[in-house]
């Protein structure tokens, strides 16, 4: 009966190690997704700032043109 207990213990330990490995893989995948999301957010922020700058330039051009017409 003693070897069965040892086998049960090894099986439980093996399962625990496997779960830890799976958890590490999931953590790594999550970290990669977070990094990708952060990069996308930074890219969107840069695009937003560029659009705001272009909008400002367009408004200035329209004001100058309006003054020219008057």
What would the pLDDT profile of 6-42 be if each residue is shown by its tens digit? Answer: 667 778 889 999 999 999 999 999 999 999 999 999 9
pTM (2 decimals)?
0.63
Per-residue pLDDT tens for 36-67? 999 999 999 999 999 999 999 999 999 999 98
What is the spatial distance between Cα 44 and Cα 32, in angstroms, rounded to a whole number? 18
Closest to 70 (Cα-Cα) out of 41, 62, 43, 6: 62
Sign of CA dihedral 47, 48, 50, 54: positive
């Amino acid at each position: 009966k003693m070897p069965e207990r040892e086998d049960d213990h090894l099986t439980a330990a093996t399962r625990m190690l496997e779960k830890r490995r799976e958890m590490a893989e999931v953590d790594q995948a999550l970290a990669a997704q977070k990094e990708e999301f952060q990069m996308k957010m930074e890219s969107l922020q840069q695009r937003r700032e560029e659009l705001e700058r272009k909008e400002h330039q367009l408004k200035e051009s329209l004001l100058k043109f309006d003054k020219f017409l008057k």
